[in-house]
Amino acid sequence: MNRIFELIEKQNTIAIVGHIRPDGDCIGSSLGLYNYILDNYPNKRVDVYLEPISEKFKFLNGAKEIINEPSHEVYDISISVDCSDTERHGEFGIIFKNAKNTVCIDHHRSNLGFGDLYYCDPDASSACEVVSRFLDMDKISKSCAEAIYMGIIHDTGVLKYSATSEETMYIVGKLISKGIDTQFIIDETFYRVRYSQNRLTGKALMKSKQYLDGKVIASNITLEDFEEFNASKEDTDGIIDKLRVTEGVEVAILAYQIDDKTYKFSMRSISYVDVSVISVHFGGGGHIRASGFYIIGDYEESLGKILDMVSKQI
């Protein structure tokens, strides 16, 4: 950690990159670091590279400055946050690859390590929690605190998932002391839903089926379902959380169709099934209790293969 921080302190141009389809934790950790560096080292230049982010995240300081297109600029250092492998950088991989120094800060169990310097804690609740370990709490501004708090809220399901630790709560307490509007952040970025999202959720719940004596629940959303409610991929947010709280369920599975041949799968488990190994098997990754991957093939057939692996663990 000290080596990473000393390295960052020495560099003048800094590029922060996250993962494709950035979520709350990815955006929060990117902008938390961005604000901290600019607040405390105003002579440095910091650029954040991410795919376009949802409107609800744009209240964060620096969100409007996020660059959505990769460039050929060679930065002194590129810092990767919340990203389990370099594939997940998507088109911003070039920024990371071209930088003179590279650092990886992460919390994914499936992360095998990359970058000149690498710090990954698979037991940390979020990338934001890991990033906060690098920061001097007394030097965190309100803008920085808002970003980091938001990421922790998202990756812990509002301080609920098992990775929420004493350290998580200690950091959250410190962030709240900066005067952030916690209710606004929780309601507007986590719980608020669109009409199309509610209707898509309803359909996915109606279509859900139970397997393995009800220990598994699975559902799928087809291109036709998206069309029916004029819904987008963003509208799938939160559906898996509704599936996973079903009585008797250990594993929840949600697939949504990307195109004719491809499905994106998300998996969640409650207490003993390791869904990370299953996702890694299919070329994806994640955590013990939350993971995902892409499969080319038919939904029922892919689900069959997944259920085989789940049933062995159960």
Segment interacting with Mn ion, rule: CB under 5 A, options 21-29, 56-64, 255-263, 279-287: 21-29
Furthest CA-CA distance within the chain: 60
Q: Please report whether residue 107 would count as binding ligand 5GP according to CB under 6 A.
A: no
Interface residue with ligand 5GP, options 204, 290, 295, 306 (CB under 6 A): 290
Which of 25, 146 has the CB closer to ligand 5GP?
25
Q: Which two tokens stand for residue 135?
A: 């920061």
Which string of DSSP letters, residue by residue, matches 128-185?
HHHHHHTS-GGG--HHHHHHHHHHHHHHTTTTTSTT--HHHHHHHHHHHTTT--HHHH
Q: Please report whether residue 203 would count as binding ligand 5GP according to CB under 6 A.
A: no
For ligand 5GP (CB under 6 A), the number of binding residues is 14
Exposure string of 132-147, with b = 16+ CB inside 10 Å and e = fewer, is: bebbeeeebeebbbbb
Interface residue with ligand 5GP, options 208, 266, 269, 302 (CB under 6 A): 266
Which of 143, 269 has the CB closer to ligand 5GP?
269
Q: Which two tokens stand for residue 109?
A: 């169990």
Distance CA 266, CA 281 (A): 14
Interface residue with ligand 5GP, options 35, 80, 88, 147 (CB under 6 A): 88
Q: Which does 129 bind (CB under 5 to 8 A by kind): Mn ion, ligand 5GP, none?
A: none
Asked if residues 172 and 149 have their Cβ atoms less than 8 Å apart, the reply is: yes
Q: Which two tokens stand for residue 266?
A: 């998300």
- From residue 92 to residue 131, the character string flagging contacts with Mn ion as x (rule: CB under 5 A) and all else as - is -----------------------------------x----
Q: Please report whether residue 284 would count as binding ligand 5GP according to CB under 6 A.
A: yes
Q: Please report whether residue 156 would count as binding ligand 5GP according to CB under 6 A.
A: no
